[in-house]
A and B are shown apart, each in its own frame.
Chain A
């Protein structure tokens, strides 16, 4: 004799459906619960390709973990909106100016513990200087990019950018949104005033720089130089060197006064639950093999002084103490404290 099952009541049906729904939502979390997940930020473009195709899989294999890379800007508002004890990122990769802003908000740690990251012992001093939050893993040199086929005169100084011969073909950045533009503004204070904090001299220099074509992104400036729309412009060396071998009529000029440093910086978030893994990742990014791979992929100068690049790269990137000594590191803490005032002023200057 068999017992017939009672029909499913409406209440039972709803409870079962709700449980199934929760199960579907929670499934991805449960599935990955056994493997530690490191959440980082990262760039797109060639950097992102090299990381996702080669370097991240190798790290995941070595440390038996999963790495989630957020390459969708903006990072700081997302990190700021998340809980300090459960941040959305474990490692923040961004430029120095943003790292200083993040430190002010208390969402990243000021320094990396060198005892947990042995490769820090091999970095150039600038990578852990007092101008730096966390550790710099790569740097680009900000200088002047120019066309070689337009018959322009020899350019060797930042001041050449103010030459009236470049009216109409001069390029720069929308200062409030671009760190190259911000660093260049500080440099103008040093060129025409008492130093990089001489804002009055910098503002006067910006007035004299007009007419100038301003863009938001360095990628846009690269293309404007390539198309000939801009003849001479502020740009980082990687933006010119990445076209090496493509027969483009462009060159990078490192001005005699020095090049500005555009740093790629890593910091840890205070609330990270995978601190050991986060430190291992920073150490990995500073390891000579990873530094060489990325440097030769995107033309960034490695921060690790022990890295040996192929001749082609060695010749053009900042790979010796002498070349590294030409780097000028902006004081981003000072700049960020005045950013609103500076934004307002430069907007007025370039709007007029």
Chain B
């Protein structure tokens, strides 16, 4: 009796099937969103009865949705900048600073991930009320930054842990000062981690719901909050159109990053 000759092919087939299943599992919800957005009926219908852009028209014509989209983008950009600056600096200090209690500080930096975000939002809301500052835009950005920093810290630390410090020593030996060494050696080599963290920060902020729930001010709401309020009263294809636009925006951000800094470096993380 001989071993079955099809085993390697069967193994490859199973491997391929598993990959296809995972991809389908990941993409199916996105496909359904697009089907819902393009379906002319005011309710989810499968199979779709036609193709229409009426929900996209409604979405782009809505002042509320457009204001919400603009605000979400503004907040996401501000959050990305703030979280990247703070997170990357904190990661560097944690990895290199020789600080006492590094593990405790790292745990504290990552703690917003452990806490339900809705509690973070409520706690910040109470703080703002106590400080009598209302619900300002910077308060919303601060909330988003708080929950985004752990992603930047984590991805930057991952790169710093594999960082060859002899390169920095070599730069110093060749006459470069600490700042020049940082900008010309440390930063370029940690860029994959920092940029991956920045992408996470943008996405976390743009999709942020629980923190925003308490921190958006009346008449100035982010897209996820506007969508939630809308679907309580009007569940139609506009929700699908808004979701489709959000997905496309996320894809555009990723493609933009790929064109500017390259995505291959993220794949190593």
Could you say which residues of chain B place their CB within 8 Å of the CB of A69?
218-219
Question: Quick check: A25 and B233 within 8 Å, CB to CB?
Answer: no
Question: Quick check: A44 and B216 within 8 Å, CB to CB?
Answer: no
Question: Quick check: A68 and B218 within 8 Å, CB to CB?
Answer: yes
Closest residue of chain A to B233 (Cβ to Cβ) is A45
Question: Quick check: B233 and A219 within 8 Å, CB to CB?
Answer: yes
Alpha-carbon distance between A29 and B231 when the two chains are bound, in angstroms: 32
Question: Quick check: A223 and B236 within 8 Å, CB to CB?
Answer: yes
Q: A72-B213, A83-B129, A217-B231 are contacts. A227–B43 as well, Cβ < 8 Å?
A: yes
Question: Quick check: A25 and B218 within 8 Å, CB to CB?
Answer: no
Q: CB-CB contacts of A55-73 with B at 8 A, as 1s and 0s?
A: 0000000000000111111
Q: Is residue A274 contacting chain B, with contact meaning CB distance below 8 A?
A: no
How far is the CB of A94 from the nearest CB of chain B, in Å?
13
How far is the CB of B241 from the nearest CB of chain A, in Å?
15
Q: Is residue A224 contacting chain B, with contact meaning CB distance below 8 A?
A: yes
How far is the CB of A117 from the nearest CB of chain B, in Å?
23
Alpha-carbon distance between A50 and B48 when the two chains are bound, in angstroms: 32
Alpha-carbon distance between A70 and B212 when the two chains are bound, in angstroms: 13
Alpha-carbon distance between A74 and B118 when the two chains are bound, in angstroms: 11
Closest residue of chain A to B139 (Cβ to Cβ) is A25
State which size class the interface on A falls in.
Answer: 20 to 34
How far is the CB of A43 from the nearest CB of chain B, in Å?
7
Q: Is residue A323 contacting chain B, with contact meaning CB distance below 8 A?
A: no
How far is the CB of B2 from the nearest CB of chain A, in Å?
54
Closest residue of chain A to B118 (Cβ to Cβ) is A77
Q: Is residue B181 contacting chain A, with contact meaning CB distance below 8 A?
A: no
Question: Quick check: A81 and B43 within 8 Å, CB to CB?
Answer: no
Q: A25-B136, A83-B129 are contacts. A73–B232 as well, Cβ < 8 Å?
A: yes
State which size class the interface on B falls in.
Answer: 20 to 34
* Among B41, B132, B236, contact of A86 (Cβ-Cβ < 8 Å): B132
How far is the CB of B123 from the nearest CB of chain A, in Å?
9
How far is the CB of A121 from the nearest CB of chain B, in Å?
31
Could you say which residues of chain B place their CB within 8 Å of the CB of A227?
41, 43-45
Q: A72-B221, A86-B132, A88-B129 are contacts. A219–B231 as well, Cβ < 8 Å?
A: yes
Could you say which residues of chain A place their CB within 8 Å of the CB of B228?
72-73
* Among B45, B129, B218, contact of A70 (Cβ-Cβ < 8 Å): B218
Task: Name the interface residues of B120-137: CB closer than 8 Å to any CB of A.
Answer: 122, 125-126, 129-130, 132-134, 136
Could you say which residues of chain B place their CB within 8 Å of the CB of A25?
133, 136, 138
Question: Quick check: A219 and B235 within 8 Å, CB to CB?
Answer: yes
Question: Quick check: A68 and B219 within 8 Å, CB to CB?
Answer: yes
Could you say which residues of chain A place their CB within 8 Å of the CB of B233?
43-48, 217, 219
Alpha-carbon distance between A44 and B218 when the two chains are bound, in angstroms: 12
Closest residue of chain A to B236 (Cβ to Cβ) is A223
Q: Is residue B19 contacting chain A, with contact meaning CB distance below 8 A?
A: no
Q: A68-B219, A70-B218 are contacts. A81–B129 as well, Cβ < 8 Å?
A: yes
Q: Is residue A208 contacting chain B, with contact meaning CB distance below 8 A?
A: no
Could you say which residues of chain B place their CB within 8 Å of the CB of A237?
none
Closest residue of chain B to A215 (Cβ to Cβ) is B235
Question: Quick check: B43 and A224 within 8 Å, CB to CB?
Answer: yes
Q: Is residue B230 contacting chain A, with contact meaning CB distance below 8 A?
A: yes
Q: Is residue B229 contacting chain A, with contact meaning CB distance below 8 A?
A: yes
Question: Quick check: B232 and A82 within 8 Å, CB to CB?
Answer: no
Question: Quick check: B125 and A81 within 8 Å, CB to CB?
Answer: yes
* Among B125, B129, B217, B232, contact of A219 (Cβ-Cβ < 8 Å): B232
- Could you list 12 further interchain pairs (A-B, Cβ under 8 angstroms) beyond the known A73-B232, A227-B43? A25-B136, A25-B138, A45-B234, A48-B229, A74-B213, A77-B122, A78-B125, A81-B129, A88-B129, A223-B43, A223-B236, A226-B43
Report, nearest first, the 3 A-B pairs whose CB atoms are least far apart: A45-B233, A223-B43, A44-B229
Q: List 24 A-B contacts (CB under 8 A).
A: A28-B136, A29-B134, A44-B230, A45-B232, A45-B234, A46-B234, A48-B233, A68-B218, A69-B219, A70-B217, A71-B218, A72-B213, A72-B225, A72-B229, A81-B214, A217-B231, A217-B232, A217-B235, A219-B234, A219-B235, A220-B235, A226-B42, A226-B43, A227-B44
